[in-house]
Copies of this chain bind each other. A is one copy, B any other.
Amino acid sequence: MTKDDSSPSDRITVRRMPDRASYDPDTVASILDEGLLAHVGLVAAEGPVVIPMIYGRDDQTLYLHGSPASRLLREGRDTQLCVTVSILDGLVVARSLMHHSMNYRSVVLMGRASLVEDFDEKSRALDLISDHVIPGRVAGTRPHLEKEVKGTLVLSMPLNEASSKVRTGQPIDDDEDYSLDTWAGVLPLGIAVGEPIPDPLLKDGISTPEHITQWSR
């Protein structure tokens, strides 16, 4: 970005419902930290491609990873990416179909992804991605082997061109519809966590660790 950090770039500026937008780095970070899946868009030879991926964050850097055979990672290095993370918090049920909405938190990040080549940064980025999905998992798992780190592609993206958007609360209906006998309100949604299913090939006597039994989002 050529602009100073306090003002969003033109392309990242939210135009629809700008009152729901924020460019505050802490808000962006908190949404990224709670999200699980990023939808990553790039321009391939055949047109736009959007792929679900996991990710990790280190301060003002986002990391993506994948196999060297992945189309996105092959084409995505040194290419403009758009990384969108959406968290659905509820269905907003209005008195007219037109005013139905969703309560959500989302981040849109634009920028150029760079290939991470330094072994230590790569290894650390892979840990950050694992601990982003399951906090505490890295400490509960053997260290990476050198060949595993070398056999994985890692991309980094700066978080300096990101917008967040948040909707909360009840529906906003047209004035004349408030007299209708139609139910309106919010149906809260979140992530349901089931009972952990141990791998049938698990050795005897291994109990389920707390970072699994206590996992929540």
Contact = CB atoms under 8 A, between A and B. Distances in A.
Interface of A: 10-11, 15-16, 36-37, 39-44, 46-52, 54, 67, 69-71, 80-84, 86, 88, 90-91, 93, 95-98, 100, 102, 104, 106, 108, 110, 126-127, 130, 133-134, 137-138, 140-142, 144-145, 148, 152, 170-171, 177-203, 206-209, 212, 215
26 contacts: A11-B46, A15-B69, A16-B67, A40-B50, A41-B48, A42-B48, A47-B80, A48-B82, A49-B110, A50-B50, A52-B84, A52-B104, A91-B215, A95-B142, A96-B144, A97-B141, A98-B144, A100-B137, A102-B133, A170-B197, A182-B206, A184-B198, A185-B198, A185-B212, A188-B195, A189-B191
A88 B37 CA distance: 9
Contact of A98 (B39, B70, B152, B191): B152
A108 B136 CA distance: 32
Chain copies in the assembled complex: 2
Given A96-B141, A190-B192, A43 B39 contact: no
Contact of A86 (B52, B98, B182, B206): B52
B185 A208 contact: yes
Contact of A183 (B82, B110, B207): B207
A193 B182 CA distance: 21
B185 A199 contact: yes
B192 A192 contact: yes
A215 B100 CA distance: 15
A49 B144 contact: no
A185 B196 contact: yes
**Cβ-closest 8 pairs across A and B:** A188-B194, A39-B39, A47-B80, A192-B192, A11-B46, A41-B41, A41-B50, A41-B48
